[in-house]
């Protein structure tokens, strides 16, 4: 609600940033091949309203975002269309938000980040509970179990690779979405195994000694995970190195714990984990990457 000059300045900064990036890069992933390729109410304006309402006013649904724009931003956006038209325009911009989030993350890495240390983890994006029959974005989602929340759910997994920052939140280098049941180790192998000279810190699901021994030789990259027990190992062997294994596991867990704090921050700032109101695959892409872009748009304010 632009109650101060500072908020107005933020709205202007978001608009000019989005406009510049749209003309140079985002337009190529949101082009229209129709007679209405240059609408009066532009994609830049749609994205600006979405990002401002979510990042500054904490409006987390499309209806809330539209009401804010309709009531308080009309003087800035006099050509604002109807809610139905606005909703359709938002859903067309999923790939633009995906590209924007990547640009924001790579454009300004905070000081103090260890560029040679990367933390790995994933979190669920829930479209409906496991007890219900899913009807939305079936080509993108499936059913899985979240051990952290102790629940079955339908939806996505958001996988993060983030630079370690001592005494601070890690800075995401990359986000990847997959169906909920996808194994985290497979996602690493498909997306990040080619990174050279990096030390990775993950949980037990990334345990694969043969693969990471090969990775260390070929790419000079190392994966550290808590010690994973071996099935049917005799008790005498379990206790033999127990003290050393426990200390090592605690050390690894202490280093990678901040990525869980990053996810908690993202949830609190954008409500990204709850996607029950999404009604299409395009809307689900906007839900994920639009919120990531909104969370990190503040990087342009140097604050």
d(CA 223, CA 215): 9
What confidence score (pLDDT) does residue 272 get? 97
Instruction: Give the per-residue pLDDT at 261.
Output: 95
Instruction: Please state the domain extents for the chain.
Output: 5-103+277-301, 112-270
SS3 for 249-260, per residue? Answer: HHHHHHHHCHHH
The mean of the pLDDT values for the chain is: 90
How many other C-beta atoms can be found within 10 angstroms of the C-beta atom of residue 151?
Answer: 14
Q: pLDDT below 50 — which residues of the chain?
A: 303
Q: Which of 161, 126, 122 is nearest to 141 (CA)?
A: 126
Q: What DSSP designation does 198 have?
A: -
Tens of pLDDT, residues 139-197: 999 999 988 888 899 999 999 999 999 989 999 999 999 999 999 999 999 999 999 99
The pTM of the full predicted model, rounded to 2 decimals, is: 0.91
Report pLDDT for 237: 55
Using the CB atoms, write b or e for 230-252: b if 16+ within 10 Å. eeeeeeeeeeeeeeeeeeebeeb
């Amino acid at each position: 609600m632009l109650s101060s000059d500072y908020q107005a300045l933020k709205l202007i900064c978001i608009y000019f940033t989005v406009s510049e990036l749209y003309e140079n890069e985002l337009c190529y992933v949101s082009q229209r091949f129709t007679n209405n390729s240059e609408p009066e109410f532009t994609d830049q304006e749609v994205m600006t309203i979405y990002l401002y309402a979510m990042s500054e006013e904490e409006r987390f649904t499309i209806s809330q975002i539209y009401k804010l724009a309709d009531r308080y931003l009309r003087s800035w956006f006099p050509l604002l269309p109807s809610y139905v038209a606005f909703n359709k325009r938002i859903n067309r911009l999923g790939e633009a938000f995906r590209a924007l989030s990547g640009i924001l993350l790579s454009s300004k890495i905070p000081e103090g980040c260890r560029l040679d240390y990367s933390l790995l983890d994933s979190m669920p994006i829930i479209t409906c509970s496991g007890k219900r029959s899913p009807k939305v974005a079936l080509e993108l989602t499936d059913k899985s179990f979240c051990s952290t929340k102790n629940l079955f759910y339908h939806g996505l997994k958001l996988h993060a690779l983030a630079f370690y920052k001592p005494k601070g939140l890690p800075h995401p280098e990359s986000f990847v979405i997959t169906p909920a049941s996808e194994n985290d180790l497979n996602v690493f192998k498909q997306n990040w195994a080619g990174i050279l000279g990096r030390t990775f810190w993950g949980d037990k699901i990334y345990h694969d000694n043969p693969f990471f021994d090969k990775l260390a030789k070929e790419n000079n990259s190392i994966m550290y995970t808590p010690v994973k027990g071996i099935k049917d190992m005799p008790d005498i062997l379990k206790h033999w190195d127990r003290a050393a294994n426990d200390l090592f596991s605690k050390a690894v867990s202490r280093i990678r714990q901040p990525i869980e704090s990053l996810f908690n921050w993202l949830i609190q700032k954008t409500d990204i984990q709850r996607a029950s109101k999404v009604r299409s695959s395009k809307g689900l892409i906007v839900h994920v990457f639009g919120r990531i872009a909104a969370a990190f748009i503040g990087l342009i304010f140097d604050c």
